[in-house]
C-alpha cells in the first residue's frame, strides 16, 4: 500500500510540471499597445513597448502584428531578456519613412542587438528605398541609408516567410551571430538599386539560408570575413550580382571564411554566379573549404569567378597583391549559359596562389558553343566532363 501514497504525492507534481512547461506563450498585440495600421501614424513606440514587455516576460512571448501597414522609424530591439523564446508573428507590413533623410545615416532601420531565441514569422518589410536610390543615382550628396533588418551579436534566430521590399541599403544583415536560420525569404528590389545586397553574413557561424528568392541590385548573398559553417540551399537569384564570398582582405588583420556550402541555386541574368572576391592588398584573411554544387546558370555574365585583384577606383591598392589565401574550393555539377565568352575565371593572388580547386561535371556554354576559361595563379584538379576545358 505504500506505493499508493507515493503515487498520490508524485502525480500532482508531474501534472504541475507538464502544465507549466506547456503554458501558452503570452501574446502582446501591437494594436492594444497603440500601433495604428494606417501606414501614416508612427507606431515605433508601440512596437518597442511590445518588445520590452516580451523581453521582460519570464515565459515565452509572442508579439503579434495584425494585417495593415505600420510606419516605423528606427526600431531597435535589445537583448538581456528574461526568456529566450520571443516570436514576432507578423501578418502586416512594416513601412520605413518615405523621406530618406529621416533614417539618414543611422545605419539600421530594424535592429536586434544581443538577443537570444528570437523568431520572426511572416511579414513584409518595406524599406521605401526608391527615393534614396534616385538621389544616389543623381550624384547629389545623399545619406548612406539604412539596412532593413539586422541581427547583431545574437544567437538562435529563426526568420521564416519574411519579405523585404526596396531596402535603402542591405536588406538583411547577420553580424556576429551564431545559429541563425533564414528560410522562405523573399527579397525584392530593382536590379539597378545601389548597395541593396539581399542577405549579408559576417563574423557569424552556423547560418543557414534555405528556400529563398532574391531579386535585387547588388549581391543576392554576400559573405564577409569571419563567416564559418554557412549553408545556402535552394535559392533563386536574379536580377542581382550573384552569391559572393567577399569582398575580403580589405583589412590587414581579418578572420577567414571557412566551410561554406552553396547548393541547388539558380542564377538568372545576374552579373555573377558564384564569386570569390578579394582586395589586391595585404591581409591575414583566407577562404578555405567551399562547395558550390548543383548550380544552374541562365545567361550569367560571370558564372564562375575568383577575382583577387579587386581595387575599386584604383585607390590604396595599385601594385599590391592579395594576402588572402584561397584553398579547397569545389565546383560540382554547374550547368548553364554564360552571357559573355569567358564563363570561368580564376584570377588568383601572385603571392598566395589558389590551391585545391576542384572542377567536377561542369558545363557552361556561350551562344551554344563551349565557353572559355582563364586562369592565373590557380591550381587544382578536374574530373568528369568539364566545359570549358580547365586551365588549372
Nearer to ligand NAG, 73 or 288 (CB): 288
Q: What is the closest distance, in whole angstroms, from the C-beta atom of residue 257 to ligand NAG in the complex?
A: 12
HEC letters along the chain? CHHHHHHHHHHHHHHHHHHHHCCCCEEEECCCCCCCCEEEEECHHHHHHHHHHHHHCCCCEEEEECCCEEECCCEEEECCCCCCCEEEEEEEEEECCCCHHHHCCCCEEEEEECCEEEEEEEEEEECCCHHHHHHHHHCCCCCCCCEEEEEECCEEEEEECCEEECCCCCCEEEECCEEEEEECCEEECCCCCCCCCCEEEECCEEEEEEEEEEECCCCCEEECCCCEEEEEEEEEECCCCCEEEEEECCCCCCCCEEEEEEEEEEEECCCEEEEEEEECCCCCCEEEEEEEEEEEEEEECEEEEEEEEECHHHCCCCCCCCCCEEEEEEEEEEEEEECCCEEEEEECCCCCCEEEEEEEEEEEEECCEECEEEEECEEEEEEEEEECCCCC
Which parts of 231-250 interact with ligand NAG (CB under 6 A)? 231
Nearer to ligand NAG, 262 or 342 (CB): 262
Nearer to ligand NAG, 190 or 261 (CB): 261
Span from 160-168, 227-235, 324-332, 363-371 in contact with ligand NAG (CB under 6 A)? 227-235
Task: State the burial class of residue 223 (Cβ atoms within 10 Å of its Cβ: 0-12, 13-18, 19+).
Answer: buried
Span from 2-10, 16-24, 119-127, 225-233 in contact with ligand NAG (CB under 6 A)? 225-233
Span from 136-144, 151-159, 229-237, 278-286 in contact with ligand NAG (CB under 6 A)? 229-237
Q: What is the closest distance, in whole angstroms, from the C-beta atom of residue 261 to ligand NAG in the complex?
A: 6
Which parts of 48-87 interact with ligand NAG (CB under 6 A)? none
Binding ligand NAG (rule: CB under 6 A), the pick from 229, 251, 328, 333 is 229
Active site residue 294: no
Which parts of 6-25 interact with ligand NAG (CB under 6 A)? none
Nearer to ligand NAG, 95 or 232 (CB): 232
**Site for ligand NAG contains 144 (CB under 6 A):** no
Nearer to ligand NAG, 35 or 230 (CB): 230
Q: What is the closest distance, in whole angstroms, from the C-beta atom of residue 212 to ligand NAG in the complex?
A: 16
Nearer to ligand NAG, 230 or 243 (CB): 230
Find cell 545586397 and name the residue.
Answer: 197
Contact 52, 88 (CB under 8 A): no
Q: What is the closest distance, in whole angstroms, from the C-beta atom of residue 293 to ligand NAG in the complex?
A: 13
Phi, psi of 323 (to 5 degrees): -85, -5
Find cell 576559361 and name the residue.
Answer: 373
Grid cell in block for residue 384: 568528369
Span from 62-70, 228-236, 267-275, 335-343 in contact with ligand NAG (CB under 6 A)? 228-236
Q: What is the closest distance, in whole angstroms, from the C-beta atom of residue 259 to ligand NAG in the complex?
A: 4
Exactly one of 200, 241, 294, 335 is catalytic; which is it?
A: 241
Q: What is the closest distance, in whole angstroms, from the C-beta atom of residue 267 to ligand NAG in the complex?
A: 21
Gap between the Cα atoms of 6 and 4, Å rounded: 5
Nearer to ligand NAG, 208 or 374 (CB): 208
**Site for ligand NAG contains 261 (CB under 6 A):** yes
Gap between the Cα atoms of 39 and 317, Å rounded: 47
Binding ligand NAG (rule: CB under 6 A), the pick from 44, 156, 259, 320 is 259
Query: What is the x/- site pattern for ligand NAG, positions 146-165, by CB under 6 A?
Result: --------------------
Count of residues touching ligand NAG (by CB under 6 A)? 5
Q: What is the closest distance, in whole angstroms, from the C-beta atom of residue 288 to ligand NAG in the complex?
A: 11
Residues at the site binding ligand NAG, with contacts judged by CB under 6 A? 229-231, 259, 261
Catalytic residues: 241
Amino acid at each position: 500500500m505504500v506505493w499508493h501514497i507515493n503515487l498520490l504525492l508524485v502525480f500532482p507534481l508531474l501534472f504541475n510540471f507538464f502544465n507549466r512547461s506547456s503554458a501558452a506563450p503570452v501574446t502582446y498585440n501591437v494594436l492594444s499597445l497603440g500601433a495604428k495600421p494606417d501606414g501614416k501614424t508612427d507606431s515605433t513606440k508601440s512596437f518597442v513597448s511590445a518588445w520590452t514587455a516580451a523581453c521582460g516576460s519570464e515565459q515565452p512571448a509572442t508579439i503579434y502584428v495584425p494585417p495593415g501597414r505600420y510606419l516605423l522609424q528606427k526600431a531597435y530591439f535589445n537583448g538581456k531578456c528574461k526568456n529566450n523564446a520571443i516570436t514576432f508573428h507578423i501578418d502586416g507590413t512594416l513601412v520605413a519613412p518615405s523621406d530618406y533623410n529621416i533614417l539618414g545615416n543611422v545605419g539600421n532601420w530594424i535592429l536586434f542587438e544581443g538577443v537570444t531565441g528570437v523568431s520572426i514569422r511572416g511579414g513584409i518589410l518595406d524599406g521605401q528605398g526608391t527615393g534614396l536610390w534616385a538621389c544616389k543615382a543623381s550624384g547629389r550628396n545623399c545619406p548612406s541609408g539604412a539596412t532593413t533588418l539586422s541581427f547583431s551579436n545574437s544567437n538562435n534566430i529563426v526568420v521564416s516567410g519574411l519579405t523585404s521590399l526596396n531596402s535603402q541599403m542591405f536588406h538583411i544583415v547577420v553580424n556576429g551571430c551564431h545559429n541563425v536560420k533564414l528560410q522562405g525569404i523573399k527579397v525584392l528590389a530593382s536590379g539597378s538599386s545601389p548597395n541593396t545586397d539581399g542577405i549579408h553574413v559576417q563574423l557569424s557561424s552556423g547560418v543557414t539560408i534555405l528556400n529563398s528568392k532574391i531579386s535585387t541590385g547588388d549581391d543576392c548573398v554576400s559573405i564577409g570575413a569571419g563567416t564559418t559553417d554557412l549553408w545556402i540551399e535552394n535559392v533563386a537569384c536574379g536580377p542581382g550580382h550573384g552569391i559572393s564570398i567577399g569582398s575580403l582582405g580589405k583589412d590587414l588583420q581579418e578572420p577567414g571564411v571557412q566551410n561554406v556550402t552553396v547548393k541547388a541555386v539558380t542564377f538568372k541574368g545576374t552579373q555573377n554566379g558564384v564569386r570569390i572576391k578579394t582586395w589586391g592588398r595585404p591581409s591575414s584573411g583566407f577562404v578555405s573549404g567551399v562547395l558550390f554544387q548543383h548550380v544552374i546558370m541562365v545567361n550569367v555574365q560571370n558564372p564562375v569567378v575568383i577575382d583577387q585583384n579587386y581595387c575599386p577606383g584604383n585607390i590604396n591598392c595599385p601594385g599590391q597583391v592579395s594576402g588572402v589565401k584561397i584553398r579547397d574550393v569545389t565546383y560540382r555539377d554547374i550547368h548553364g549559359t554564360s552571357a559573355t565568352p569567358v564563363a570561368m575565371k580564376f584570377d588568383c593572388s601572385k603571392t598566395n596562389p589558389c590551391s585545391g580547386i576542384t572542377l567536377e561535371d561542369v558545363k557552361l556554354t556561350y551562344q551554344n558553343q563551349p565557353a572559355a576559361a582563364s586562369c592565373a595563379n590557380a591550381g587544382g584538379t578536374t574530373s568528369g566532363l568539364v566545359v570549358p576545358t580547365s586551365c588549372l
